[in-house]
Amino acid sequence: MPVSCSQSSLTGQEGSIFFEPAGTSWCLKDYTDFSGGAPGGVDIFVPANNDFRIGDPVIFTEEGTANLDSALTAGTTYYVIANSSGAIAVSATAGGTAILLAGDGGTGGADTPGAANHINLKIAEFAVVCQVREFSVEITREELDVTTLPCNTSQLGGKWATFRKTQPGYATGTGTMTVYFTDDQTSLANRLLANTLLKSQEGARVRLFVNTVDDGAGNVDLNESLYIESDITITSLSLSVNPDDPTSGELSFNIINPTNVLGAVLV
């Protein structure tokens, strides 16, 4: 794609929001959490407070020296086809047949020891949220006072007041977004709003695009787009319902662990 050099101001028409839902990122034991190490089972054990939905695309990643069940391939996208009683089943295709697990994860028939050795399970990809009206983000820096006592005679007994010296400290990021309600209970917008109430918001992540650039094949070109990518915690939801306007909800969120801020790569 050619490099854009337009000096025209961007508008909201160029923006978009992509989202990975909360309650969808977990660390699993590589043997006992995959059908308890019994070959032929389909259950992958996850915390009961997970929020995986049928059809969610997920990936598995081996952390440290953990070994994934050989019926699955790390980094490959699978699809959730069942979720009940703290266990999910996955398929190679959306709505497909549950994969039978080999029961051979871990080492020597046991979980690979060590807290750093686990299988990471998470949503595989961002999905666009189509009902967002607007969003705003504010990033501020803590102000640290590093003023010192006078260290030379010119600062003592002078006519003018000495100014304090400050330097920036930790950054804080907050934001809001206005989301329209629909009666589609499966929509990502309604799921985003409901994520406010989840006890665990692990996995909640956004890409907030100021300028969404297409790569010519119907995909977002991340190298040319301007966006903020970060984990978020959703802190509040307020509703607006009246006869004259579309029903909307305003979310407030905190930005944590950002990886990209308008072209600045933070990892």
3-state DSSP of 127-166: EECCCEEEEEEEEEEEEEECCCCCCCHHHCCCCCCCCCCE
3-class secondary structure, 5: coil
Tokens 């999905």 belong to residue: 127
Which residue ranges make up each domain of the chain? Answer: 12-19+128-265
Judged against a pLDDT cut of 80, whether residue 87 lies above it is answered with: yes
**How far lies 203's CA from each of 3, 22, 25, 55, 188, in Å?**
33, 5, 5, 16, 14
Predicted confidence band of residue 266 (pLDDT cuts 50, 70, 90): very high
User: Which listed CATH number (3.30.70, 1.10.287, 2.30.110, 3.30.1330) goes with 12-19+128-265?
Assistant: 2.30.110
Interval 220-264: pLDDT, tens: 999 999 999 999 999 999 998 999 999 999 999 999 999 999 999
- Which DSSP state fits 10? P
* Tokens, residue 89: 């089943």
* Average pLDDT along the chain: 92
**pTM, two decimal places:** 0.88
**How far lies 196's CA from each of 23, 124, 202, 232, in Å?**
11, 21, 12, 11
Interval 104-160: pLDDT, tens: 999 888 999 998 999 999 999 999 999 999 999 999 999 999 998 887 766 677 778
- Torsion sign across C-alpha atoms 71, 72, 78, 79: positive
